[in-house]
Amino acid sequence: MIYSNFKIRRSIALLSFLFFVGVQSLVAQTLLERIKALPDIVSVEKMEQNPFFSEAFVVNVKQPINHQHPEKGSFPQRVFVSHLGYDRPVVFVTEGYGGGYAAGKRHLEELCPLLKANQIFVEHRYFGKSHPDSIHWIDLTVENAAADQHHIVELFKKIYNQKWISTGISKGGETTLYHRMLYPNDVDVSVPFVAPLNFSVEEGRHPHFIEKLTGTRQERKMVKNFQMEVLRRKDKLMPFFEKLCKEKNYHFKAPVREIYDYSLLEFSFSFWQWGHSVKEIPALTASDKEVFDYFQKVSSCNYFDIESGKANAPFFVQAHRQLGYYAYDTKPFRKLIETKNTEGYVERLFLDKDQIFPYNPEMSLQTDRYLKTTAKNVLLIYGAIDPWSASAAKGGKNPGVVILFQPGGSHRSRINNMPEPLKKKAVDTLNAWLN
């Protein structure tokens, strides 16, 4: 009996020693070593970090081209990891586009200092450097993108086991919503900024918002009057327009005069989206050059240029297939505008034949139902004059979804630039959810 107890005590002591050694070994590991030890890591490269963090790395993670069919191959997805502490939460950024800017030491998501958190930033599939050698557009879906993010969360939770907060801006905010709906337990809190939730390829809610709801009645009238002046002077301004296109080597999928009209229709959306002031608008008596320069400052025709648009081609594939976009309304300009019907413009102006898929709103509808029923700890931030707020996500009567609109706020609305009472409400809400 004495011998047997001795054996038990010795075994316990040995196990305790091995556990202690294992823990000490883990503590001794550098972050670089921990990342390299994760499965599906293609490469890790140190990068210069923002001063808020202690170190940072660019990580390429192996992702299936199609998560349901791994036999189709894989591609490296770029992830930027900025470290503050293992005992700190993680701000998980679901970028909707390319993420090269996250490699700069100036980049810092505002939630990180607010929450004293690490930052893991994910470049969206098929944007930037996160794409396979041969692109098959059929695999660019909300479901595959969300599965990419889920895989990254699973990997890095082996390093960071505190609270996780997902966030994204604009299309990145949409990405946050879709990921949270499909994988609700991946993160504890979600903070999408200015994220639309559309239900058709060319939504009619946005033109109505611009015509009736953004800014004051007088401000809307000043914007529309300027647009009408641009149309009245079309023949006078076309030489400027054609010269600009020639100098910049712009090419379009429609005649130049038609692109002029589309730039004019885009003007009001862009004006309100980016929060321009009506004080900037030239007087109706201004010179042709002044009118043209301001027209292009707010609504540059390079938006429709084929070469300029290549970097954003994946976006329009997604918009036409699942995400939806906005319509143009020509009725307010019907007496002057040459382009009377803009239906189908997304497909006609932005997509090639191999990029066109039937539109399916199911992911947006599922996300809408999720937000109104079972979603928890979702804080949505919008700008009150931003046309994208026309298709702002809604939480219905679900207390787990909080929506804040910044008065006079544009697509640049964030927690830090909100009025103090709203900022306090946002921060208090986040702290309550995280604690």
* C-alpha dist (Å) from residue 45 to 36, 102, 415: 10, 14, 32
Give the number of residues written for the chain: 435
Radius of gyration of the chain (CA): 25
Strand partners, 124: none
pLDDT at 29: 87
- Whether the model pTM is above 0.85: yes
- The 10 Å Cβ neighbour count of residue 223 is 20
- Give rounded-to-5 percent helix, strand, coil for the chain: 50, 15, 35
Exposed, middle or buried: residue 47 (CB in 10 Å: 0-12, 13-18, 19+)? middle
Q: Are 407 and 419 in contact (CB under 8 A)?
A: yes
Q: Are 60 and 41 in contact (CB under 8 A)?
A: yes
Give the DSSP H or E segment for 82.
Answer: strand 74-83
Tens digit of pLDDT at every position of the chain (435 positions): 444 555 556 665 555 555 544 444 445 689 999 999 999 999 999 999 999 999 999 999 999 999 999 999 999 999 999 999 999 999 999 999 999 999 988 999 999 999 999 999 999 999 999 999 999 999 999 999 999 999 999 999 999 999 999 999 999 999 999 999 999 999 999 999 999 999 999 999 999 999 999 999 999 999 999 999 999 999 999 999 999 999 999 999 999 999 999 999 999 999 999 999 999 999 999 999 999 999 999 999 999 999 999 999 999 999 999 999 999 999 999 999 999 999 999 999 999 999 999 999 999 999 999 999 999 999 999 999 999 999 999 999 999 999 999 999 999 999 999 999 999 999 999 999 999
And the tokens for 236? 């006078």
170: alpha, beta or left, given left = phi > 0 and alpha = psi -120 to 50?
Answer: left
- The DSSP bridge pattern shows strands 55-64 and 41-47 to be antiparallel
Can you spell out the DSSP letters for 356-367? ------HHHHHH
Give the DSSP H or E segment for 236.
Answer: helix 234-248
- Domains of the chain plus CATH, in order, are 31-198+362-434 (3.40.50.1820), 205-355 (no CATH)
* HEC readout, 140-200: CCHHHHHHHHHHHHHHHCCCCCCCEEEEEECHHHHHHHHHHHHCCCCCCEEEEECCECCCC
Give the DSSP H or E segment for 3.
Answer: helix 2-28
* Backbone phi and psi for residue 240, each to the nearest 5 degrees, phi listed first: -60, -45
Strand partners, 91: 119, 165
- The DSSP bridge pattern shows strands 401-406 and 378-383 to be parallel
Give the separation between CA 406 and CA 219, rounded to whole angstroms: 18
Q: Are 182 and 156 in contact (CB under 8 A)?
A: no
pLDDT at 104: 85
And the tokens for 136? 């098959």
